[in-house]
A and B are shown apart, each in its own frame.
Chain A
């Protein structure tokens, strides 16, 4: 009998009926997820997109010096531009000065070349009083820096509505005077080193977490359940405690007038005058962050180790393996998924950490995130903040995909 001939009681072919039922189920599932998905789209995904666009967005020159931008298109970049460009610039500068919008252009150009802010602001103030041309002479007389073709090349380059210059800055690169990309002089290089330091310190923190977390997870997985549950509380309590609280507590312990230094002095280990500087530097960041992230290592390790039957180790021992060989050849390979899950998780969380490095990192323990915050809140160079953020997000997403590939997002558990 052919399967297409099967029908339900009311005469509908079974296949059709089944497909209809499944479609109904699918629709129900999709409808349940839709509100959350829509919410996340608006409250989370769009904001992230906004940040990504800001890293290439370049509206200042084209919005506030539109005539200059237009006139510079015709200029081939050789020598100084012609009177048309100067006239347009004089008009835009005067208008920008009157409408108080020229400051945006001045700050934008200043990100690319020091001194541009004062040059633009000063010339704009003078331009308000100019009645008629030739504007070339007026502008060149206003400040001799306008004689440099580089300045005009810079304005021409920044007239494009989109720019890569924030990304170049974030990678310690810049446009040379001929428009090619060159590396910044050594004393201006900050971000690549910071990225490297962030990655390196995060790797160290991950390694420390693994080193401390593995034995604890092993102990928890091998103890009888009642004892393991009790000890588990010692892991879960820090996990549930605000990381601000945990950072504060490390300040109390590690600072030079703090608990640990007092203990050292009291036991005579160190001299009162030579208290150890353990915080507001790299050491402080590493200790505090290892403590904060350790539960994120222990929990995935534990959930993998719990599934390994203890009889495997006993079997290995009974066949003559030493305890160490049995561990190395039988137990350890089975925990690799847990090591992968914990390590990627801790590493992802670590490179994006902001609060702890900001509070206990001092100068040497700062992370790349601290510079995102700096450009967001102090220097107000939001384009650069967005570009650094986009690069960081790229690293995180790559690691997130690796996590999904190796472990699967479905297997993520909490506590």
Chain B
């Protein structure tokens, strides 16, 4: 975008300087994430670019850290655990959270603000505090070092994301659409499935994705309440960074970035679909 035609000389200069500044900030945001991708293909056990890598010598690159990852029992176990925990906690969080969002977006809901404050609090309370509390409380009922304990904890942590996303979708929901459906002869059930559900589903799915990633990336609570049986990918990474730092971690990090890109793409598609269904088009 060019500067406006009425801009004076210094203003033009500022305009381009500002663009440059923003460009640098974007580099700061995205650069570090991009840097690890080539580093994960390093043939040497270093965390930096070797001479061979800079000269684009094929010898400098290898898949050895990926091989390491996919053949290690510890990592494979961690992948399994991460998916088990994230899967069940996402289902629980999405179910409970969607129901609650339906209630919270009703005009007739009493004490809306204080209840919302409680529902969102797992996102606000420092993880270390939630983790300590859950450790104390869950150990009384022998829930520490069990899958159930970790799943319940992650459900609690994922819930705010579902509640916020689905409530936001429902707040933007135009209720005259259901009335229009009814006036055209649809039964309430038909109106719900044909009109309400398609409009709300993108919100529910993005809420579920948030809950999934919240569980999938969570370290602190698992660190406190999980046993050796429930080691997840983040825990494995955490101990990898602290103990024997090897580029395998960079390979894992690259795979996790790929997962994030996948999720982000799905979200973006959902957002566009939602806008299209509401009759909004990107300008």
A: residues with CB less than 8 A from B are 22, 25-26, 28-33, 35-37, 39-40, 43-51, 54, 212, 215-216, 219, 223-227, 229, 231, 233-238, 240-253, 255, 257-259, 262, 291, 294-295, 317, 323, 348, 351-355, 359, 369, 372-373, 376-377, 382, 385-386, 389, 392-393, 396, 400, 404, 408-410, 412-415
Given A369-B128, A414-B165, check contact A291 B103 (CB 8 Å).
no
Q: Which of B164, B213, B238, B245 contacts A413 (CB 8 A)?
A: B164
Q: Interface residue tally of chain B, by bracket?
A: 35 or more
Contact indicator A246/B32 (Cβ below 8 Å): yes
Complex: A199 Cα to B16 Cα, angstroms: 36
Determine if A50 and B103 form an interchain contact, defined as CB atoms under 8 angstroms apart: no
Task: Answer whether A40 and B156 are a contact pair too, CB < 8 Å, given A236-B264, A244-B237, A255-B47.
Answer: yes
Q: A26-B110, A46-B137, A234-B30 are in contact. Are A249 and B125 (CB under 8 A)?
A: no
Residues of B close to A33: CB separation below 8 A: 99-100, 103-104, 109, 115
Min CB gap A293→B, angstroms: 11
- Cross-chain contact of A245 among B109, B242, B253, B263 (Cβ < 8 A): B253
Q: With a CB–CB cut-off of 8 A, which chain A residues contact B165?
A: 414
Chain A interface, >50% SS class: helix
Residue of B nearest to A415 (CB): B267
Instruction: Decide yes or no: A252 and B250 within 8 Å by CB, A30-B103, A233-B264, A410-B113 being known contacts.
Output: yes
Given contacts A48-B129, A244-B219, A257-B46, contact A252 B35 (CB under 8 A): yes
Chain A residues, Cβ within 8 Å of B161: 414
Within 8 A of A (CB), among B88-104: 96-97, 99-100, 102-104
Chain B residues lying within 8 Å of A295, measured Cβ to Cβ, are 29
* Contact between chains at A392 and B32 (CB < 8 Å): no
With A36-B159, A50-B137 given, is the CB distance from A262 to B48 under 8 Å? yes
Shortest beta-carbon contacts, A-B, top 8: A352-B126, A32-B103, A47-B133, A47-B137, A36-B100, A29-B106, A51-B133, A33-B103
Cβ-defined contact, B136 with A47, below 8 A: yes
Bound together, the chains give a CA A246 to CA B254 distance in angstroms of: 11
30 contacts between A and B (CB under 8 A): A28-B108, A29-B103, A36-B119, A36-B159, A37-B100, A37-B115, A40-B119, A43-B153, A44-B122, A44-B133, A215-B21, A216-B26, A219-B22, A242-B217, A244-B253, A245-B257, A248-B241, A251-B245, A259-B47, A259-B49, A262-B49, A353-B126, A354-B126, A359-B238, A382-B136, A389-B128, A389-B133, A393-B125, A404-B117, A410-B112
Q: In the complex, are the beta carbons of A26 and B108 less than 8 A apart?
A: yes
In angstroms, Cα B136 to Cα A54, docked, is 9
- A40, A215, A255: the one contacting B122 at CB < 8 Å is A40
- Check A372–B156 contact: CB distance below 8 A: no
Contact with A along B119-153 (1 / 0, CB 8 A): 11110111111101111111010000000000011
Question: Which chain B residues numbered 29 to 57 have a C-beta less than 8 Å away from chain A?
Answer: 29-30, 32-33, 35-36, 39, 46-49
Pick from B1, B108, B267: contact of A224, CB under 8 Å:
B1
CB-CB under 8 A from A410, the residues of chain B are 112-113, 116, 167
B109 to chain A, nearest CB (A): 4
- Docked complex Cα distance between A37 and B77 (Å): 33
What chain A residues lie within 8 Å of B213 (beta carbons)? 240, 242
User: Nearest chain A CB to B75's CB is how many angstroms away?
Assistant: 14
The reply to whether A253 and B32 form a contact with Cβ atoms under 8 Å apart is yes
A35-B100, A215-B22 in contact; A352/B106 too (CB < 8 A)? no
Contacts of A259 in B (CB 8 A): 35, 39, 47-49
Query: Shortest distance in angstroms between B217's beta carbon and chain A's nearest beta carbon?
Result: 4
